Chain A
């Protein structure tokens, strides 16, 4: 009897410790970056261009670039991903073919991001002649995000009770009507969360934009989707490894990291708030 209790205590102890360790690592990272980066943050830092060979000034173009490219990514990957998920979850008959598609999507999610980057060069930059541009990078990031969006959307569709579909069909709705008016709205919170989380991950990627459109330094903002751009993750990479005066720009690097993390955090928070509101509205 005593041994059993002891075993349980040890078991719980290990599980609790694992949870705390994970949390601790996150806290240390956030704390460290905040401590070292907070000093660099100022209004000027956020709205100014880099100056004096990036040793002075701010990261404004990188912030705008990241937002711009993520927007293109969203525009491309969300409609396409959600449509694919609708097909897979609502229309496709279960069989060898759909199973093959699902396995492929799962494998795509595991492809290293640098491979997407090189593929983006081949397809968008060279093949479709979009050049190194916001568009090429956005589409490449879109490809990277697609498997994630398809998988989370499909999951969201699966959680919609079958009775919503049957109820609509029994009233003489066509399949598409039942999907559009009943299935999609119910799955929307899940799709939204999945989509935004996918995008926030894309926003922090470096490898896929490396060869497809990101610029080392631009003295201006991109003026169209065919222009090059600066981006936070790449800027951070430069400041921390490629710069000629690494020690000198270290605070700026930490500042950039802090802004990137804050941006991603804010996006994720938006997802959570939106989902919460949506749920409440329908009191499900």
Chain B
């Protein structure tokens, strides 16, 4: 089943066209990777899906994005609700300057969960799910800023998991991490796809090949090719894709 479908999606920043008529189907409970050279619009595409581009003045879209069949950009869409159901992990780990505990409880509190016992339960579960529990269980009250980069990123994932979204958007989640940190996040993603639909933007092709089930190749704002990851990385249909994955440009 397709969780998110884009139909002839174009994105503009002012006069500038960032994305050009993208048709994409994101299958549920899979990891879909979006690859492409810097500046091709990967991150912008991702940020259309939780409407974070709304923050950019003068940005507008044409076409449609369907989430469970419903138009994300319809007039009556509750953007806050959408962002609760479609979580996001950012390129640079962005924990809030609060304690580890409060970072995770944040999303719960703003969504109206006040019960202390319940909060603690969910915080623990989220940290376990993100593989961080053993490392931080004795320092839940210390500032999240004191964690390592990799730990911070897993904290951000835990924070996203806590409010039980249906989709997790990951915007180059490992680009600021060392190999060990990267490995842990990749392992985690594979575990998480049982429960979540994951879309990851990456400029690391090995990463896309390792973790994803489907891959889309984006070039200058256009979706050049989309298909099973195996197929894209072994027998790409398009010359551009082949050139990119074999490292001839990028």
Measuring CB to CB, which residues of chain A are less than 8 angstroms from any residue of chain B? 93-94, 161, 163-174, 177, 181-182, 185-186, 282-284
Contact = CB atoms under 8 A, between A and B. Distances in A.
Interface of B: 50, 52, 55, 57, 80-81, 83-85, 87-88, 90, 92, 94-98, 106-107, 110-111, 143, 145-146, 156, 159-160, 163
Contacts of B95: 167
A166 B87 CA distance: 11
A184 to B, nearest CB: 12
Given A172-B107, A181-B106, A282-B145, A167 B80 contact: no
Contact of B80 (A94, A164, A173, A282): A173
B110 A173 contact: yes
Contact of B110 (A93, A165, A177, A186): A177
Contacts of B111: 172
B88 A170 contact: yes
B146 A166 contact: no
A282 B97 contact: yes
Nearest to B103: A167
Given A170-B88, A171-B106, A172-B80, A164 B94 contact: yes
28 contacts: A94-B57, A161-B94, A163-B90, A164-B94, A165-B55, A166-B52, A166-B90, A167-B95, A167-B156, A167-B159, A169-B52, A171-B87, A171-B107, A171-B159, A171-B160, A172-B83, A172-B111, A173-B80, A174-B80, A174-B110, A177-B110, A181-B110, A182-B96, A185-B97, A282-B98, A282-B143, A283-B143, A284-B145
Given A168-B106, A172-B81, A172-B83, 13 more contacts: A163-B92, A168-B110, A169-B52, A171-B110, A172-B80, A172-B110, A172-B163, A173-B106, A173-B107, A177-B110, A182-B96, A282-B97, A282-B143
